[in-house]
Amino acid sequence: MNVNEAIILARKHIGGEMESSARLCLSDAIRCYDDGLLDAAKKRALDSLLYSVGMFHKDYQRASK
């Protein structure tokens, strides 16, 4: 999955108990993407997914590959 798709997926799953942390990570991911830091952007999108859905969710697993 590319960085843009990971960011879109993270945006789709915003919510849950750790919503504020997920939003912060997503904001960081978008900022990194805009700055051309694609590896950092994907990492922060994955962090957002971790806060929203957790590491065992199928969408996190798909995005982390």
Predicted pLDDT at 15: 83
Q: What is the pLDDT of residue 27?
A: 98
Question: What's the pLDDT score for residue 47?
Answer: 97
CA distance 47 to 53: 10
pLDDT of residue 28: 98
Overall number of domains in the chain:
1
- Which pTM value belongs to this model? 0.93
pLDDT single digits (tens) 9-46: 999 999 888 999 999 999 999 999 999 999 999 999 99
Distances in Å between the alpha carbon of 23 and those of 5, 50, 65? 16, 11, 22
Domain, as residue range, for 13 = 3-63
